[in-house]
Chains A and B, each alone.
Chain A
Amino acid sequence: MSYKSIRARFFRSLVTTMTLVLAVSFLAFSQISIDIADAMLVSDNPVFHRILLQSGYDILPDDVSLSASPKQRWIVVLSLLVCVVGIINAQLMSVTERFREIGTMKCLGALDRFIVRIFVMEASMQGFAGSVTGAFVGGIAACSGAIFRFGTDILPIFPWQDILSTSALAIGTGIGLSLLGVLYPAIMAARMQPVEAMRVEQ
């Protein structure tokens, strides 16, 4: 059922999903870039160390891992924040648009739980699609960026495992954000009195 209503409002869902794609891909990109730089650092290859220094990373002699600069972290957090706000806005719109539909369902005996479930399921589908795409796009961008910057020499030391786990984390974050964004609109929809919902003109 949720799938259908996504299809019916395909374009709008696409916009919501795109917000997620962008935010998650940014998150994945920055994290995976760090993963790769980490791997280069750990590889103990002086050539890599020099390249890293050249490309602007600050390495102290006894560092074993690099971390994102505070500024970079801020940007990631901000992008995620903007994404949540965007999702809340989009879902609120979709609730208002479906006032009558929700009212009808409540008249027919739908429990509050059911209404919440519809919206949560819709959001998790969008969240999943958006996050997976986002993580994929971000991962590809980070990897190809690294190859472009550091040359193909880094391929043997590519930290595949780290990249995968980082992507998984980014996907999880994306789905979490999507659910977080839908919670308030869904609860608002479920709490609505059917009479009030029916009174709204279409």
Chain B
Amino acid sequence: MNREMIIKQIVRVTGVTKDFDLGKIVVNVLKGIDLEIETGKYVSIMGPSGSGKSTLFNMIGGLDKPTEGKVFIDEVDIAQLDAYELAWLRCRKIGYIFQTFNLIPVMTALENVTLPMTFAGVPGDTAISRGMELLAQVGLEGRHAHKPAELSGGQQQRVAVARALANTPSIILADEPTGNLDLKTGEEIISLLKQMSEEQGVTVISATHDYKMLNVSDQVIWIRDGRVDKIQDRDELEIHTGGMSS
């Protein structure tokens, strides 16, 4: 366990609970979650729908505030940040990938990729050349002038991956990135994410109920009913799901 002490923890979640007040009843979605995620790992959060995956995700991404408990990103408590610093964090530290892609429909693929760089204040020419580079990395050379509506689902998600990587974030948060894709394109996106995480040392955290994800994950966190059910490392996992090849 010496190794783990050296490796930096990029995300630390301590005792997080989240209640949603629906007027008459209060739903406790998260009932106390403690997590530590190491830099450079590919982590999957698994759990049935309604288990609080997405809610946990929004907490880690700084999109929502926990009712109790703290979320640290790079040892910074995100509850302490003001709006400006949060925007900075979202812009530089975290890249988002959504289930529904969420590309801006009126912009071309290239403009979608360069958008976060615009927010970060990268000058236009640099942003464009980096955008082209990123699009080439995700295998979309020559498609830069296409609008999202002119691309297939898998291609749109590739654009979203490129967009998430735009500001070289340390974390990529992917909320069911394969949820809207068929089997094959889903696999392509997963291997793309894995490749990016290996090449660039990005921490990938993905929420999913897609078992294909397990093969590439370094760590799987099982969530059930708003609690962490179990955390498995890759080696344990392969014993557990022996039939799968990686």
Shortest Cβ distance from residue A1 to the other chain B in the assembled complex, whole angstroms? 8
Q: Are B107 and A105 in contact (CB under 8 A)?
A: no
- A104 touching B63 in the complex, CB below 8 Å, given contacts A109-B90, A111-B84, A111-B87: no
Evaluate contact between A5 and B119: CB separation under 8 angstroms.
no
* B61 interface hit (Cβ, 8 Å): yes
Range, interface on chain A: 20 to 34
Nearest-neighbor residue (CB-CB) of A201 within chain B = B100
| Count of A-B residue pairs with CB < 8 Å | 62
Contacts of A108 in B (CB 8 A): 90-91, 96, 115-116, 119, 163
* A109/B105 contact (C-beta < 8 A), A194-B63, A195-B58, A195-B64 known: no
- Among the listed B89, B96, B119, B163, which residue makes an inter-chain contact with A111, where contact means beta carbons less than 8 Å apart? B119
Give chain A residues whose Cβ lies under 8 Å from the Cβ of B98: 104, 198
How far, in Å, is B112 (CB) from chain A's closest CB?
10
- B residues within 8 A CB of A4? 106-107
Q: Give chain A residues whose Cβ lies under 8 Å from the Cβ of B111.
A: 1
Residues of chain A lying within 8 A (CB to CB) of residue B244: none
**Residues of B contacting A195 with CB < 8 Å?**
58, 63-64
Given A109-B120, A110-B119, A194-B63, also A104-B92 (CB < 8 A): no
Residue interface bits B31-62, CB-to-A below 8 A is 1, else 0: 00000000000000000000000000010010
B51: shortest Cβ distance to chain A, in Å?
Answer: 18
A112 with B106, Cβ < 8 A, contacts A107-B90, A194-B63 known:
no
Interface contact B87-A110, CB-CB below 8 Å: yes
A109 near B63 (CB under 8 angstroms)?
no
Q: Can you list, as one digit per residue, whether each of B95-117 has a CB less than 8 Å from chain A (1) or not (0)?
A: 01010101111110001000110
Report the minimal beta-carbon distance from B98 to chain A, rounded to whole angstroms.
Answer: 8
Q: Which of A98-135 contact B (CB under 8 A)?
A: 100-101, 103-112, 114
Check if A114 sits within 8 Å of B119, measured CB to CB.
yes
Kindly state the separation between the CA atoms of A126 and B131 in the bound complex, as whole angstroms.
Answer: 31
- Cross-chain contact B106 with A5 (CB below 8 angstroms): yes
Contact mask for chain A residues 1-29; partner B; CB cutoff 8 A; 1 contact, 0 none = 10011011000000000000000000000
Known contacts A104-B104, A195-B58, A109 near B92 by CB under 8 Å: yes
B83 interface residue per 8 A CB criterion: yes
Question: Are B116 and A109 in contact, CB atoms less than 8 angstroms apart?
Answer: yes
Min Cβ gap A104→B in Å is: 4
Give 13 A-B pairs besides A100-B102, A109-B167, A111-B83 with Cβ atoms closer than 8 angstroms.
A4-B107, A5-B106, A103-B102, A104-B98, A105-B104, A107-B61, A108-B90, A108-B119, A110-B87, A110-B91, A195-B63, A198-B63, A198-B98
A sample of 25 inter-chain contacts (CB < 8 A) reads A1-B107, A4-B106, A4-B107, A7-B106, A100-B102, A104-B102, A104-B104, A105-B115, A106-B87, A107-B90, A107-B102, A108-B91, A108-B96, A108-B116, A108-B119, A109-B87, A109-B120, A109-B167, A111-B84, A111-B119, A114-B119, A193-B63, A193-B64, A195-B64, A202-B100
